[in-house]
Amino acid sequence: MRMVDIIIKKKEGIKLSKEEIEFFVKGITDGSIPDYQASALLMAICLKGMDDEETLNLTLAMASSGDTVDLSQIPKVKVDKHSTGGVGDKTTLILGPMVAALGVPIAKMSGRGLGHTGGTIDKLESIPGFNTQLTQEEFIRIVKDIGLAVAGQTGNLVPADKKLYALRDVTGTVDSIPLIASSIMSKKLAAGADAIVLDVKAGSGAFMKTAEDARKLAKAMVEIGKGAKRKTVAVITDMNRPLGNAVGNALEVREAIEVLSGHGPDDITTVCITLAAKMLELAGMGDFEKCAQLAGGTIRDGSALMKFKQMIKAQHGNEKVADDPDLLPSAKYTVEYKAASKGYISAIISDKLGVASMLLGAGRATKEDSVDPSAGITLLKKTGDMVEAGEPIMILHANSQSLFKESVNQLEQAVVISSEKPPETPLIIDIIQ
């Protein structure tokens, strides 16, 4: 089998066989296929596409290209959740404790962020002492003990994806739905869960800018899950607006605690209850309506917050932050960002808000950058709110005053004020199952 023949075949729009796809994945993993040939095939896939069977075969080959996590020691159905990322997306911190409080084990491997803000691991590491670098044995032990652990990826999990992702980033082939779907789902399959809930974001602050593209990606990933014999559901949620009021690592942990305590913003609470209900439904806890009531009940009775504390303690963090969020890191300087004119906030463009937060230190421009856990933005007003000229609409947090100017420049492009109130749009756009 020759790589050049596989490239030509896909260039001509012909379906690749399972054996050809496995040959490609093995070669990219062991280095026997050079980057220029791998890049050529990625471009051919980007231009000609893949059908469901090809995408499934690519995903399965990538998932088995390295280590896999065996969760069989943990009883009951293990449900995983993945978000395609967004501004203010701290859902794992909230729905993990909600679901675990109802007896469904959550063994979650998460990543660091590149871009707007930190990933789930960065957010958890803003909790003093919290350890995300667990061995597989520690990870499984904690889940067996308390039903919940969130850790960084360990070992050699899906090495093929790491190599292909790096190539896609520099060859203009990131926006291929088969490549995106196989990248996400290969990691989910390798992580060992029995069922998967996908939070697919759509909008300015998301990778998929339109609901139509988000649906295509959601359907592709659900088909992969079906082909891999994993129960899979995708919830398409709106990311034309930031989720919640906090953007930044410690700020988002603080807001997660507010939600778990029963007084968080309505939007993030609604999304988390929806996602948690789908996870509980896949675990066999009842229909969606019953599971939504169960999920909301964990906030009302305090069991979700208690589970969050247990996880922090089990992973060597200071669980007192759940009762006193002031123990979280806080920035040395704050500045108010004020409305330029009177009117309704018709839009807060999420990706520009995310960049403004990154410029304060809350995210990474490159993989080598460090994240300031205390940096970020707190929203005082949201889309649809009336504001007066000069009224504060955000608070910026940073540890250097020199960072505010560039961030404010971004915010001037992010906030749109108009004379008419914008129409309300749904947070939950669709559910694909």
Rounded Cα–Cα distance for residues 334 and 74 (Å): 45
CB-CB contact of 84 with 207 (8 Å): yes
* CA 116 centroid distance within chain: 12
CA dihedral 265, 267, 269, 272 (to 10 degrees): -150
Rounded Cα–Cα distance for residues 39 and 292 (Å): 45
Q: Which of 80, 89, 122, 161 is catalytic?
A: 161
List the structure tokens of 117. 């803000």
List the structure tokens of 192. 């060992």
Please provide the size of the chain in residues: 433
Q: Which of 10, 78, 81, 82 is catalytic?
A: 82
Our answer to whether residue 187 is catalytic in this structure is yes
Q: Which residues of 215-232 are buried (b: 16+ CB within 10 A; e: fewer)?
A: bbbbbbbbbbbebbebbb
CB-CB contact of 208 with 217 (8 Å): yes
Task: Give the residue ranges of DSSP H helices in 147-287.
Answer: 159-171, 177-190, 211-227, 249-260, 266-282
Q: Which of 108, 168, 278, 309 is catalytic?
A: 168
Our answer to whether residue 2 is catalytic in this structure is no
| Nearest alpha carbon to residue 326 among 231, 228, 251, 248 | 251
What are residue 386's DSSP bridge partners? Answer: 344
Reduce the secondary structure of 305-332 to three states and give it as a string: HHHHHHHHHHCCCCHHHHCCHHHCCCCC
Our answer to whether residue 194 is catalytic in this structure is no
Rounded Cα–Cα distance for residues 7 and 27 (Å): 14
* Alpha-carbon torsion (301, 304, 308, 311), positive or negative: positive
Our answer to whether residue 30 is catalytic in this structure is no
CB-CB contact of 6 with 137 (8 Å): no
Supply the DSSP string of 397-425, one letter for each residue.
EES-GGGHHHHHHHHHHHEEEESSPPPP-
List the structure tokens of 155. 């070992």
List the structure tokens of 326. 């002031």
Q: Which of 110, 126, 183, 204 is catalytic?
A: 183
Rounded Cα–Cα distance for residues 106 and 96 (Å): 6
What are residue 347's DSSP bridge partners? Answer: 416
Our answer to whether residue 313 is catalytic in this structure is no
CB-CB contact of 153 with 109 (8 Å): yes
Tell me how crowded residue 109 is: count the other CB atoms within 10 A of its CB.
26
List, by residue number, the catalytic residues.
Answer: 82, 161, 168, 183, 187
